[in-house]
């Protein structure tokens, strides 16, 4: 067995890990990056996450009416595959071009708290490191439903975006953000998508009026929703699967070509042998970390989805900043510094949110005002009409005493960009009145803030 020593060992090529490896390598530190598969250089986002899914969503939204849906889907998957291959190479080259960084492809597992074994076929490599960063990401969760895991028609999001075969009818098990995003995309490509959600409504983390507006857009697009649905079993029947469920006391079934498990993603730690290193995990299987992302072993950190935080690439990037500050800075930056972190559900138009919902804000007991307006009623937002999409709404939650923006839900064209402006305003202490009276370019979506924030409805 070959043995190596390094200053920094990063296990997993995700956003936080690769950025840290590059930064420390440029400082002259000896770094080893271990990635399990050469198809995952660059991490989840560019290979099986944000980039391919959003690329497919975009391609779905621009499908010409005359284009055959199945052919368009196959072409879109091929185009997306070329894009991810390009980005994967760029990410590999980013590290491979640094003399002090070595990329190793294989499966890593701890021997003890200082030593890690990497295997690839019959090859074995033992690495000791002063600092170790776990960055193995997360993997799709397949619910424990009788017959589902054994079904020949089960697919995950990872498998969906890598297959050129568009299912004609799809049951989406899970009505959270992942399920809604995939259902919206499949519907745009012409598939019949049915979302089965156990809760009484989809998007239950959103205010009811926002969730209803999003659901209406999707229903009008052709997505079917069955809420209060408990999926009891899945049975294969030749070329199709039958999904059996109970909804509000009534039994039902759905015959489909594919069953998409969209119940979220769980931290990937099974192969790591964390117990050998004395690294603790949480009840959900995530690597337990403190606010500085240190594990129960001070020289071992965990960044990205594996540490149980919000599963966003930009959170992984901020994780890098925290660990880099521990390794080469003042050691002050922490997860406690994060304020007004936005997120976006990429349906069409996108739903973006930051801060508290109205429900959450009122639960605090503080006096709250709400400014809201349907996009179709906003005169000062001609961009939506230029793009021929006036669906959705904008909603701001405001502290009635301080005029601080407590949160916003933006369901509109360009919402994925607008929400960043609102988040920056919240972090900088910009009031709702200041955002209302700001000068914005025209015609833009941002100028809608002038009108919406002048419309306090309750």
Known binding-site residues equal: 54, 174-181, 197, 264, 305
Cα gap 259→261, rounded to integer Å: 6
Residue of 5, 58, 153, 442 marked active site: 442
- Non-local (6+) Cβ contacts of 96 within 8 A are 103
Name the H helices within 201-312: 208-221, 274-277
- Non-local (6+) Cβ contacts of 274 within 8 A are 110, 280, 281, 287
Q: Which residue has the tokens 């976006």?
A: 344
CA distances from residue 347 to 10, 51, 218, 250 in whole angstroms, order as listed: 34, 14, 8, 30
Give all strands (DSSP E) within 73-122, no chain letters. Answer: 101-105, 107-110, 115-120
Cα gap 155→258, rounded to integer Å: 7
DSSP assignment of 362-377 = HHTT--EEEEEEEGGG
Q: Which residue has the tokens 């009811």?
A: 208
Beta pairing partners, 352: 344, 410
Reference 311, options 12, 24, 50; nearest CA is 50
Between CA 325 and CA 335, with CA 330 as vertex, the angle to 5 degrees is 50
Residue ranges for the known binding site for FAD are 54
Q: Which two tokens stand for residue 94?
A: 């980013």
In the residue annotation, 442 being an active-site residue is answered as yes
**Pair 214, 206: CB distance under 8 Å:** yes
SS3 41: coil
SS3 261: strand
**Pair 246, 252: CB distance under 8 Å:** yes
- Structure letter (DSSP) for residue 288: P
Phi and psi for 402 in degrees, rounded to 5? Answer: -105, -15
Give all strands (DSSP E) within 137-257, no chain letters. Answer: 138-140, 154-155, 169-173, 192-197, 224-227, 229-237, 240-247, 250-256
Catalytic residue annotation:
442
């Amino acid at each position: 067995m070959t043995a190596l020593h390094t200053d920094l060992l990063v296990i997993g090529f995700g956003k936080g890990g690769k950025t840290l490896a590059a930064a420390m390598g440029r400082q002259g530190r000896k770094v080893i990056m271990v990635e399990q598969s050469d198809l995952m250089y660059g991490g989840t986002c560019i290979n099986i996450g944000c980039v391919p899914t959003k690329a497919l969503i975009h391609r779905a939204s621009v499908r010409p009416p005359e284009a055959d849906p199945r052919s368009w889907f196959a072409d879109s998957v091929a185009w997306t595959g070329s894009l991810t291959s390009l980005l994967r190479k760029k990410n590999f080259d980013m590290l491979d071009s640094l003399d002090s960084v070595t990329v190793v492809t294989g499966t890593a597992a701890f021997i003890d708290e200082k030593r890690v074994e990497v295997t690839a076929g019959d090859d074995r490599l033992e690495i000791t490191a002063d600092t170790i960063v776990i960055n193995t990401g997360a993997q799709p969760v397949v619910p424990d439903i009788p017959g589902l895991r054994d079904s020949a028609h089960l697919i995950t999001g990872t498998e969906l975006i890598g297959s050129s075969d568009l299912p004609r009818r799809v049951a989406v098990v899970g009505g959270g953000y992942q399920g809604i995003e995939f259902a919206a995309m499949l519907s745009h490509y012409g598939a019949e998508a049915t979302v089965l959600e156990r809760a009484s409504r989809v998007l239950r983390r959103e205010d009811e009026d926002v969730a209803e507006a999003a659901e209406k857009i999707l229903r009008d697009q052709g997505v079917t929703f069955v809420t209060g649905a408990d999926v009891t079993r899945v049975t294969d029947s030749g070329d199709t699967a039958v999904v059996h469920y109970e909804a509000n006391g009534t039994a039902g079934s759905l015959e489909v070509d594919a069953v998409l498990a969209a119940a979220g993603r769980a931290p990937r730690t099974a192969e790591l042998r964390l117990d050998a290193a004395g690294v603790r995990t949480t009840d959900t299987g995530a690597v337990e970390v403190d606010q500085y992302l240190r594990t129960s072993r001070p020289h071992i950190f965990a960044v990205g989805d594996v540490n149980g935080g919000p599963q966003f690439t930009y959170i992984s990037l901020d994780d890098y900043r925290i660990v880099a500050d521990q390794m080469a800075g003042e050691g002050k930056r922490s997860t406690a510094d994060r304020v007004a972190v936005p997120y976006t559900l990429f349906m069409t138009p996108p739903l973006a949110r930051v801060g508290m919902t109205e429900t959450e804000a009122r639960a605090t007991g503080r006096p709250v005002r709400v400014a809201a307006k349907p996009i179709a009623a906003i005169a000062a937002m001609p961009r939506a009409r230029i793009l021929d999409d006036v669906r959705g709404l904008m909603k701001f939650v405001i502290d009635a005493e301080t005029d601080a923006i407590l949160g916003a839900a933006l369901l509109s064209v360009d919402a994925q960009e607008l929400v960043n402006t609102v988040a920056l305003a919240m972090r900088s202490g910009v009031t709702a009145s200041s955002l209302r009276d700001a000068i914005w370019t025209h015609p833009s979506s941002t100028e809608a803030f002038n009108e919406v924030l002048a419309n306090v409805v309750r």
